[in-house]
Structure 1
Amino acid sequence: MGAAGATPYASVGAYCRNVPNALRRATGSLTANVDRHDFDHGGPLFPNKSNRPVDCGNLPYENKDYALNRKTIGEAIDAILRAGAVPVLLGG
């Protein structure tokens, strides 16, 4: 999932808010094939075919309600954990 940020530094604002989309664009060719061979571990990257990565998209971001941003991120992570999955957060 992507998070534009939670509470930006006051001096620069939410300058990283486009990072989740930029990371997706930059890694698209790497993430397109999750059946790659993992040379470090000598086997498939995801050996259990029932465990697959899923892009949950971007979380909403509020420019002024930073407490809501932190709450939104926390609730999303909690939901993923309750589902028995492993969260990977890309953010600004």
Structure 2
Amino acid sequence: TENSIPSAEEYLAELEKVAERGYAVDNGEHEDFINCIAAPISGPRGVVAAASVSVPKVIAGLDELMSLLPDLLAAAEKASIECGAPAPGKER
């Protein structure tokens, strides 16, 4: 789409941003009419899955979708603990 990341260099830079902030945002990059946010679910040895919320733009714009980010991050954190990741601030 017009929003797709056009080069490998820019894609790698975006992956660094995702790692730093702890979640990913797809602003119509795969399908121009859908936005998505995603967060990792970790286990004792690292990331084991991801949780995401996708919505057609006609239902909710990116700003409205981003308002769900705190809930998504909380759900991913709870799932991570269930998968054996240490709770935030605690080490195994």
TM-score by length of 2: 0.31
Name the one with the larger strand percent: 2
Structure having the higher Rg:
1
